[in-house]
Structure 1
């Protein structure tokens, strides 16, 4: 009987050793394979319809303002008459100058004959000729002052500010208008301000795209026409001016919007699907990669830029990155790729 019990124990022990091991349950995941290379980065900045230059206009001669032809916000063509002074006094001086020149010319002719007859001296003739030359120069000065009584637009643009009304007296050099002018052939310019980091990525004639808040669904292609090389003293930012043609679209000064500029990054980055990120905190995030023997590894990464469906990170990754099923994985455990 004792031997019988020993045989039963040996049989049970033998059967226990022959049982198959428990099957390991591996979470099923989906992955992407990262790509390394230089990325096209989109710079986005807010701005407004503006002008590339602001010109302060004034009369070079003082006087009473008789006529004003431009209002604030009005678009004017190059050469348009903006305002003029009362030039009645100058006209009277010019008429008097003409009479004086005519008299001196007659005196000169008479003295030339008298000198030939030796009844007048050469000195008298020379004095008259000097007076005649002086009178002609004075007339040219009066004519110049008369021309300066008319204020014309030096270039096409918008009247940003008007500080004059008919009947006012304006001293020489006193501001009358501030004209917003463009250095390009385009009537419209979009202005943005960018940081030093973004400024070094921009260059002249770079292609851009503009969207305006007042015109949803519309976009305009533009080119950079002016870039400041010195930062603004107050903001520390750099100004960028973009010329664009709105076609038949009605545009007004001061409209706000956004500008997008694409450029290639100077360094290579790793591109992943946006679904690969988890635990995003500012520019930091977590990804799960699959290493040797299908083991999961948890890695911290730094975000460089995010596009609509992809993300560029600074770290180089050579392993598959989990995009779906991240919540079921445990670092150091195996997974099954779908």
Structure 2
């Protein structure tokens, strides 16, 4: 009986051992095959989209100041006030210019008397021709002086050049300002074209050209996508922001009123340079696909048969917020591994997940 029990025990142990060995082989086989996700590559076309943000303004935004400066007597408008063309917006005290007008009038009267006296003396052969000519020149100069001070007397007020709105009030009553010092900032909102002023990097500035098309979105007009075109590129960097300014002319009719300073997001479509012999081929892939990246050089894993992974060197280009542009290295490659690459080595067995 013991012998029979012992034999049955050995058979059971052997069966269990065989089963466990089979399971371990299957587990090893599964572990050797790494599940991955493949991203089908799509070649970027000859156009590139540059995203940039900025604020709305108009093509006639203007800083207004006094021609001659002085003490501000009165500012008649506040920020946000509507204005009409020809409206008086601010005035400077006239005391100083009125005194200059008085002096010029006195000088003109004296010069006129001297000229009349010189004419009589010349007729009596007492004064020379040179003295008569000098007296006439002084009289002409005095007339020009009175014209100049009278013109300045008319520039004691800031007059609205367009109908629109006051964007900013940059000075206050009683403040002393110099000639040309900005006192008010106005625009012709509602009567002229809207523009989006955006800031871009030096590389983006070099790529963007006048005439490039753009699309603008803003929370002020949530149901509209405004079509625009690049109209102006400033040739100098803004020292405050460290960016280069680009102006986008809005071509879509705006049904609702915008306000200067409203935030907008733009996507500018730029073309590849036309002077290149062949258009540059590039691909866009997520960061997760990169391994061993250093500067503009990196590696990715690709597969050509769907069963094994191959390590491929690539050249990187523009780096975006969630993806990177590959300039070379993916020619004749249909897909790149984007999930599972940290566990791969050259020649690893893979299983493509659906």
The offset of 1:287, in angstroms, is 5.4
For the aligned residues, what is the CA RMSD?
5.1
- Structure 1 pair 320–247 and aligned structure 2 pair: CA distance change class (3 A): closer
- Structure 1 pair 204–155 and aligned structure 2 pair: CA distance change class (3 A): farther
- Structure 1 pair 281–195 and aligned structure 2 pair: CA distance change class (3 A): farther
Any idea what the Cα deviations from partners look like across 1:94-118, whole Å, max 9, x if unmatched?
Answer: 47855875686577567646754x3
Native 8 Å contact 1:52 1:180 kept in 2: no
The offset of 1:228, in angstroms, is 2.9
Native 8 Å contact 1:285 1:303 kept in 2: no
Question: 2:218: which partner in 1?
Answer: 212
Native 8 Å contact 1:32 1:323 kept in 2: yes
Counting only pairs closer than 5 Å after superposition, residues 198-277 of structure 1 correspond to structure 2 as 198-233=204-239, 235-245=241-251, 246-265=253-272, 267-270=280-283
Q: Quick check: 56-65 or 203-212, which moved more? A: 56-65
- Structure 1 pair 285–176 and aligned structure 2 pair: CA distance change class (3 A): same
- Structure 1 pair 63–304 and aligned structure 2 pair: CA distance change class (3 A): closer
Secondary structure (helix, strand or coil) at the match of 1:208 reads: strand
The offset of 1:192, in angstroms, is 1.6
**TM-score, normalization by structure 1:** 0.63
Counting only pairs closer than 5 Å after superposition, residues 17-166 of structure 1 correspond to structure 2 as 34=41, 36=43, 38-50=45-57, 57-74=64-81, 81-87=88-94, 90=97, 94=101, 101=108, 105=112, 112=119, 115-116=122-123, 118=124, 121-122=127-128, 129-152=136-159, 159-165=167-173
Any idea what the Cα deviations from partners look like across 1:208-234, whole Å, max 9, x if unmatched?
Answer: 111112322322112222223333445
- Structure 1 pair 235–66 and aligned structure 2 pair: CA distance change class (3 A): closer
Native 8 Å contact 2:72 2:177 kept in 1: no
The offset of 1:250, in angstroms, is 1.1
The offset of 1:257, in angstroms, is 2.1
Equivalent residue in structure 1 for 2:196, among 190, 209, 222: 190
Secondary structure (helix, strand or coil) at the match of 1:129 reads: helix
- Structure 1 pair 325–244 and aligned structure 2 pair: CA distance change class (3 A): closer
- Structure 1 pair 90–326 and aligned structure 2 pair: CA distance change class (3 A): closer
Q: Distance in 2 between matches of 1:65 and 1:109?
A: 42
Q: Distance in 2 between matches of 1:313 and 1:89?
A: 69
Counting only pairs closer than 5 Å after superposition, residues 322-337 of structure 1 correspond to structure 2 as none
Question: 1:8: which partner in 2?
Answer: none
- Structure 1 pair 129–298 and aligned structure 2 pair: CA distance change class (3 A): same
Native 8 Å contact 2:232 2:248 kept in 1: yes
Unaligned ranges ≥5, structure 1? 1-25
Q: Distance in 1 between matches of 2:180 and 2:38?
A: 71
Aligned length: 302
Q: Distance in 2 between matches of 1:86 and 1:332?
A: 86
Q: Distance in 2 between matches of 1:305 and 1:174?
A: 44
Native 8 Å contact 2:42 2:284 kept in 1: yes
**TM-score, normalization by structure 2:** 0.61
Equivalent residue in structure 1 for 2:308, among 296, 299, 302: 296
The offset of 1:137, in angstroms, is 2.6
The offset of 1:128, in angstroms, is 5.0
Native 8 Å contact 2:56 2:195 kept in 1: yes
